[in-house]
Structure 1
Amino acid sequence: MKGLFVGLVTLDLIYLAQSPPRNNQKIVAADYTVTAGGPATNAAVTFSHLGNQSELLGVVGSHPMTQLIRGDLEKYQVEIIDLDPATTNPPPVSSIIVTQASGERAVISINAVKTQANSQAIPPDILQNVDIVLIDGHQMTVGIEIAQTAKANNIPVVIDGGSWKPGFDKLLPFVDYAICSANFHPPNCQTQEQVFTYLSEFGIPHIAITHGEQPIKYLIQETGTTGFVNVSKTTAVDTLGAGDIFHGAFCHYVLRENFLDALASAAKIAAFSCQFFGTRRWMRSLAKG
């Protein structure tokens, strides 16, 4: 199966430490790793690892630091389709500190704020032979265009709703699966029920809201069915990227299973990934399949 992942491409510098530093404090990390990052990027890597073909549509450019991004994604057989190959600007860099005792993370990043592409940069045959599209909202103009074309061609569209971003309201009419975090707050939505109502008004057939290790709440529009999918309990070493990995695994499973089974299968993968430091090491212990 072939997936197109649209959105943020960063360089992630990830440190494992006893705690984040306080003001004017220097700390020594116990471990560190450098990878490509971003919600769409980590989802694409996961989708590829599970035995599929992944294409990543985002801004990378030609700054020397992008060699680290390209090298990492080449290792995981993710094809980069660069929306702005000529730019010499440095890629967005995320610095992440993972707390050893709890697996919680602290992140500082500028995301894709300075690397927005326009829809003219989209290659003409981008959706050829694509089975599923995931959009993380960090390249919103491009994402809306891709989603609209995918909808017209009956290609399922998944959104990673990590947080609300301006323009999502123009994207949502073309979405088949809205998989959001508890931090996803559309305008005037304070409660989970209000979020479900808001998304339902766009006619999205399948909606789910994740809560970390808590059960996933879902709504299937056609039948009006709501309920919860349990999440495997695990001792977290690192929760960084678990949501991204969940989305990549969901794209894999939803092409093979029904919506609820795909949520449950993806949750197992994400929980497993939390047992390992960084966003890649879990793959060494999980056979493809």
Structure 2
Amino acid sequence: MIETTAARGVTGLFVGLATLDLIQRVPALPAANTKVTAQWQELSAGGPALNAAVTFAALRGHAVLITRVGSGTVGQLVTADLRRCGVTVVDAALLEPEAAGHGRTEQVPTSGFEPAVSAITVDASTADRQIVSTDAGRPTPLSSRGRGALQAQLTAHLSDAAVVLLDGHHPDLAHAVLDVLDACQAPDQPEVGAGPVPQLIAAGQRPVILDAGRWKPQLVDLLPRCTDIVCSADFVLPQSGSQAEASGDGLLEQLVEGGATLAAVSDGPRPIRWRTAVDIPIADADAAGGATRPDRATGAIRVPSAEAIDTLGAGDALHGGYAWGLASAQPTEHPAALDRIGALTFAARVASLSTCHLGTRSWLAAVPALLNRA
């Protein structure tokens, strides 16, 4: 059960891609060298971590997005949309130390970074889509001084963050965040205060979620640093012994054996399969489809049925809802005892709701009603 009153004001930190999405809905995808008139369009900020942060904010959480946006024309459109959605942005494209000797850092424009513009065409009759984008591109990695400036800002945000989510893009930013997180949880840190977040930090229980999406080479170094790994059905581990080991239940087993507290695979309207590292208490194991072993719990969560008209961004909504569910859970003595299955069940409801509306923003108006039923 998700406690909505306690969850108000919880903070989540999201690290990853920011794009500008031009979404157009058409009667049918155009053939080569043809032109088609769109029935509907939307221009909004996009990216897996970004849309998860927007979802978290819509659920009345405080979402902080660490990304690269820049101060150019495209970046200004992205920033404006995030401001409307109530997401706080830490823009690594603008972070540089101030002139030497002043002893502080501030955000100042740097040269030429522009987010990708993703052109998304959705077939209204089938929900099939085409996406063309440069994704994160190849930005210049953080310099040592830029990394220091970023970490200085992160320290303040991490002290309040109950959950961290990564989408695998901008891996230099992800590792910078995780390095600060590790430092916050180091044994030689001062004694923490009272309250859920300090207790989570002290116990090393603060969840780090990886939106695994499709396989990316940079995930090799990120996977071992994450506690919760949520994949799509398209995710396949490379260099696995067989197809069965690379996907499905074999994939879940490998991710848990690799150190994840929870691994899950979403597959559209089909049940979300999950596995945890240890046996965990489940409030309603039958409803969750759960079966436990002495050292492991596994099961599946039914995705609520919906009259879906647009699945674009549903996975991002799932991850944002899961982050919010974990952030709203109270810490306990064992990290697996956070109500991960309850959070995943709630996230399935969030994702299902998002598919009943066009685009990635119109569904947010329906979130208050969802919270009232939580």
Q: 1:43 aligns with which of 36, 45, 52?
A: 52
Structure 2 residue runs of 5 or longer lacking an equivalent are: 1-9, 95-109, 186-203, 280-295, 330-338
- Say yes or no: does 1:199 pair with 2:255: yes
Deviation by residue 1:164-186 (Cα, 9 ceiling, x = unmatched): 11121222222111111111112
Structure 1 equivalent of residue 63 of structure 2: 54
1:147 and 1:175 in contact (8 A); partners too: no
Q: Distance in 2 between matches of 1:206 and 1:151?
A: 19
Structure 2 equivalent of residue 271 of structure 1: 352
* Structure 2 counterparts to residues 53-202 of structure 1, below 5 A: 53-85=62-94, 86-115=110-139, 117-118=141-142, 120=144, 121=147, 122-126=150-154, 127-151=158-182, 153=185, 154=204, 155-189=206-240, 190=243, 191-202=247-258
- Which has the higher mean CA deviation after the structures are superposed, 173-182 or 110-119? 110-119
Q: Go from structure 1 to structure 2 and tell me whether the alpha carbon gap of 1:119 and 1:204 turns closer, same or farther (over 3 Å shift).
A: farther
Q: Distance in 1 between matches of 2:70 and 2:320?
A: 24
Structure 1 equivalent of residue 327 of structure 2: 255
2:12 and 2:327 in contact (8 A); partners too: no
State TM-score, norm by structure 1: 0.95
How far the C-alpha of 1:125 sits from its partner, in A, is 4.0
Aligned length: 289
Q: Distance in 1 between matches of 2:239 and 2:272?
A: 22
- Which has the higher mean CA deviation after the structures are superposed, 86-95 or 212-221? 86-95
2:66 and 2:92 in contact (8 A); partners too: yes
Percent pairwise identity: 34
Deviation by residue 1:210-245 (Cα, 9 ceiling, x = unmatched): 111100000011121111100012222111110001
Deviation by residue 1:145-169 (Cα, 9 ceiling, x = unmatched): 3234325523320000101111212
How far the C-alpha of 1:141 sits from its partner, in A, is 2.3
SS at match of 1:287: helix
Q: 2:365 aligns with which of 280, 284, 287?
A: 284
Q: Distance in 1 between matches of 2:303 and 2:140?
A: 35
Deviant stretches of 4+, over 3 Å: none
Q: Which has the larger radius of gyration?
A: 2
Structure 2 equivalent of residue 233 of structure 1: 305
Structure 1 equivalent of residue 194 of structure 2: none
* Matched letter for residue 24 of structure 2: Y
Structure 1 residue runs of 5 or longer lacking an equivalent are: none
* Matched letter for residue 137 of structure 2: V
1:151 and 1:174 in contact (8 A); partners too: no
How far the C-alpha of 1:90 sits from its partner, in A, is 2.6
Q: Distance in 1 between matches of 2:229 and 2:340?
A: 11
Q: Go from structure 1 to structure 2 and tell me whether the alpha carbon gap of 1:38 and 1:119 turns closer, same or farther (over 3 Å shift).
A: farther
Q: Distance in 1 between matches of 2:328 and 2:64?
A: 19
Structure 1 equivalent of residue 37 of structure 2: 28
How far the C-alpha of 1:199 sits from its partner, in A, is 1.1
State TM-score, norm by structure 2: 0.74
Q: Distance in 2 between matches of 1:57 and 1:172?
A: 19
Q: Distance in 1 between matches of 2:179 and 2:302?
A: 32
How far the C-alpha of 1:104 sits from its partner, in A, is 3.0
* Matched letter for residue 183 of structure 1: D
* Matched letter for residue 266 of structure 2: T
